């Protein structure tokens, strides 16, 4: 199936193509080829066994934001804002740019580009653009902290695992711009911090790893960069108390705060989180700067634990079409 603006295309919007696929009773794997262009639409995909391939520069963008009001005058909240929602499994996304262009500020709040409520999903050569809460990797925590419900896009399926592999991707944002509870491996990705309004402190991750889950976020051979003027960026803070985040053989710019990690205003989190850095040059010196409840290891210490077949034990979904995989 072909999506594009040209007359010979099967569909002129991505959602129109998805709707037809989801009405079909066939669960055979399907592929959408998307021709270059800017698609201003929100896309919801519940289907599994789907491959989306961007040809040329394909950008999907929308501008919904948490402080926006619904028809009853209530704020729509974070989880009603995604440009792209994925609710299935066995998905592959290649060469797509997904953006939430709502911007940032007190009147905007959170604005999600991708809501990845999906399992066994591969993202390759994709770009995720936003500010606060750019990429959400499901599942949601059991209960919200401040609202009676999370609201937002209805969830049709709940899965025992949420495993996601991001390779050669670029993810940008300001505050908690990679957040959620998935087991997610980011490999050879650029993680780019943008200037937070007022040049306030920023946070890359806000994991909500479920209790007992072996892996949370793993960044392996990634590059942590920032636009000019950005400083005081923390590697992460816990959205929930059992957050797990590891940086393995990553290169980090000077914008990373010496303390590394933040406890989100709750010292009790320091006893339950698992925050780690591996492959650190002169780990002993870095430990003197980092918070005492974060771990730093020299090259060769524990890095073998972060092989894909360990992280994604029981599944080899990450091998699909990836000839460079280990």
Q: What is the mean pLDDT of residues 245-249?
A: 97
Gap between the Cα atoms of 96 and 9, Å rounded: 18
Burial class (CB in 10 A: 0-12, 13-18, 19+), 25: exposed
What tokens appear for 183 in the block?
């087991």
Question: Is the model's pTM score more than 0.85?
Answer: yes
Q: What is the mean pLDDT of residues 5-12?
A: 97
Catalytic residue among 94, 133, 176, 262: 176
Q: What is the mean pLDDT of residues 288-316?
A: 92
Q: Which residue did the predictor score with more confidence, 145 or 290?
A: 290
Query: In percent, how much of the chain has pLDDT > 90?
Result: 91
pLDDT for 324 equals: 37
pLDDT for 325 equals: 38
Residues 177-229: tens digit of each pLDDT: 999 999 999 999 999 999 998 888 999 999 999 999 999 999 999 999 999 99
Residue 72 binned pLDDT confidence (cut-offs 50, 70, 90): very high
Q: What is the mean pLDDT of residues 279-295?
A: 94
pLDDT for 322 equals: 56
**For residue 69, what are the β-bridge partners?**
75
CA 224 vs CA 119, 171, 315: distances in Å = 26, 10, 29
CB count within 10 Å of CB 199 equals: 11
pLDDT for 146 equals: 83
Residue 304 binned pLDDT confidence (cut-offs 50, 70, 90): confident
Residues 102-129: tens digit of each pLDDT: 999 999 999 999 999 999 999 999 999 9
Counting every residue, how long is the chain?
326
CB 277 within 8 A of CB 296: yes
pLDDT for 27 equals: 79
Beta-carbon contacts of 194 under 8 Å, excluding residues fewer than 6 positions away, are 131, 172, 173, 174, 226, 227, 230
Mean of all residue pLDDT scores within the chain: 95
CB 136 within 8 A of CB 115: yes
CA 58 vs CA 96, 127, 193: distances in Å = 5, 10, 23
CB 133 within 8 A of CB 287: no
pLDDT for 303 equals: 84
Domains and CATH numbers, the chain: 38-319 (2.160.20.10)
Is 282 a catalytic site residue?
Answer: no
Residues 17-51: tens digit of each pLDDT: 999 999 987 778 999 999 999 999 999 999 999 99
Q: What is the mean pLDDT of residues 154-159?
A: 95
- 90-116 core/surface letters (b: 16 or more CB in 10 A; e: else): bbbbbbbbbbbbbebeeebbbbbbbbb
In 3D space, the residue among 258, 207, 250, 210 whose CA is nearest the CA of residue 232 turns out to be 258
């Amino acid at each position: 199936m072909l999506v594009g603006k040209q007359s010979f295309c099967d569909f002129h919007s991505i959602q129109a193509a998805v709707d037809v696929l989801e009405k079909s009773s066939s669960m055979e794997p399907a592929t959408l080829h998307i021709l270059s262009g800017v698609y201003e639409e929100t896309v919801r995909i519940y289907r599994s066994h789907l491959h989306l391939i961007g040809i040329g520069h394909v950008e999907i963008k929308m501008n919904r934001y948490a402080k926006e009001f619904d028809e009853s005058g209530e704020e729509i909240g974070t989880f009603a804002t995604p440009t792209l929602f994925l609710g299935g499994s066995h998905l592959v996304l290649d060469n797509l740019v997904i953006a939430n262009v709502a911007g940032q500020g007190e009147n905007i709040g959170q604005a999600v580009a991708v809501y990845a409520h999906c399992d066994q999903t591969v993202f390759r050569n994709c770009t995720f653009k936003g500010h606060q809460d750019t990429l959400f990797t499901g599942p949601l925590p059991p209960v919200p902290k401040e609202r009676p419900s999370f609201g937002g896009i209805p969830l049709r399926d709940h899965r025992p695992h949420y495993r996601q592999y991001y390779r050669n991707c670029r993810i940008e944002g300001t505050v908690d711009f990679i957040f959620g509870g998935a087991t997610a491996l980011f490999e050879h990705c650029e993680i780019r911090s943008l200037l937070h309004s007022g040049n306030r402190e920023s946070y890359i991750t806000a994991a909500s790893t479920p209790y007992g889950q072996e892996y949370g976020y793993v960044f392996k051979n990634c590059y942590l960069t920032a636009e000019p003027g950005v400083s005081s960026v923390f590697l992460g803070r816990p959205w929930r108390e059992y957050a797990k985040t590891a940086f393995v053989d990553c290169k980090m710019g000077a914008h990373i705060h010496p303390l590394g990690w933040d406890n989100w205003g709750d010292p009790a989190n320091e006893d339950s989180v698992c925050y780690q850095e591996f492959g650190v040059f002169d780990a002993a010196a870095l430990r003197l700067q980092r918070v005492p409840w974060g771990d730093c290891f020299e090259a060769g210490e524990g890095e073998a634990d972060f092989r894909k077949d360990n992280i994604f034990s029981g599944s080899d979904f990450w091998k699909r079409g990836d000839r460079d995989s280990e």
